Amino acid sequence: MRAPSAVLFDAYGTLFDVHSVAALAESFFAGRGQALSVLWRDKQIEYSRLVTTSDDGAHYQPFSELTRAGLRYACQRLALDLTPEREAQLMAQYLCLTPYPEVREVLDALRARGVATGILSNGDPAMLAPLVHNGGFSGLFDHVISIDAVRRFKTHPDAYRLGPQATGFDAADIAFVSSNGWDALAATWYGFRTLWINRAGLPREAIGPAPERTGSSLRDVLSFF
């Protein structure tokens, strides 16, 4: 197969480590930081699906608000004292998530090949812009695409459709990279060429087709070329 004309990356968990918030959470809630991070992330994704599938998306809220709601729920569930100051600091940390160490290397390699690059994310623009800037990647992506434009979170096809619209390439000419198995599956269904970054060695989803490729690092995207 010919090489893709563009590569789009999921942001949260793929380019940036969502669980890098655990260190700050641990400083607030000793012995519970990792548990909070995991439950927070799970609830964040659950809320994104809930507002997309309920009443044809009539209950949409930006990802930043769902992230805040997920944090509040997780702290209540774990009986943690989430003061306004702690909430503000944890939310601010979501704008400074730690990028995976190979991100810059991979972006430079793709740009050297003349491949268009972008982010296609659930995050709203107010989250993505500082995240990219704080990660040191300003100007390195040709496209930073937020589903906020269509008010449908992934895995809704309207979210993935933003990729071809932004890049001008057909879905079959775009490689979509995600560390989330469900995201890689839905992107495969949509028609993207897909790479699942399976850092944790998880089994693939038990329904649907396998992604075109599976790897353990973002460097594996270079195998398309």
Q: Which two tokens mark 80? A: 């943690």
Q: Give pTM, 2 decimals.
A: 0.95
Active site residue 220: no
Sign of CA dihedral 168, 183, 24, 200: negative
Residue 60, pLDDT > 90, answer: yes
Domain segments of the chain as ranges: 6-16+97-224, 18-93
Q: Which two tokens mark 154? A: 């992934």
pLDDT, tens only, 4-27: 999 999 999 999 999 999 999 999
Residue 94 to residue 162: CA distance in whole angstroms = 24
Residue with tokens 């608000």: 65
> Is domain 18-93 annotated with CATH 3.30.300.30?
no
- What's the whole-number average pLDDT of the chain? 97
Residue 174 to residue 194: CA distance in whole angstroms = 8
The percentage of residues in the chain with a pLDDT greater than 90, rounded to a whole number, is 99
Residue 41 to residue 220: CA distance in whole angstroms = 25
pLDDT at 147: 98
| CATH number of the 6-16+97-224 domain | 3.40.50.1000
Q: Which amino acid is at 218?
A: L
pLDDT at 121: 98
Q: Which two tokens mark 209? A: 């087709």
Contact 73, 43 (CB under 8 A): yes
Q: Which two tokens mark 43? A: 């609830």
The percentage of residues in the chain with a pLDDT greater than 70, rounded to a whole number, is 100
Predicted confidence band of residue 64 (pLDDT cuts 50, 70, 90)? very high
Phi, psi of 93 (to 5 degrees): -65, -25
The distance from CA 136 to its chain's CA centroid, rounded to whole angstroms, is: 17
Q: Which residues contact 83 (CB under 8 A, 6 or more apart)?
A: none
Residue 225, pLDDT > 90, answer: yes
Beta partners for residue 150, in sequence order: none
Predicted confidence band of residue 151 (pLDDT cuts 50, 70, 90)? very high
pLDDT at 205: 97
Mean pLDDT for 127-148 is 97
pLDDT at 203: 97
pLDDT, tens only, 71-110: 999 999 999 999 999 999 999 999 999 999 999 999 999 9
Predicted confidence band of residue 1 (pLDDT cuts 50, 70, 90)? confident
Residue 97 to residue 18: CA distance in whole angstroms = 6
Predicted confidence band of residue 164 (pLDDT cuts 50, 70, 90)? very high
- Which of 10, 17, 148, 183 is catalytic? The answer is 10
Q: Which two tokens mark 178? A: 């995600």
Tell me 204's DSSP state. P
Mean pLDDT for 27-41 is 97
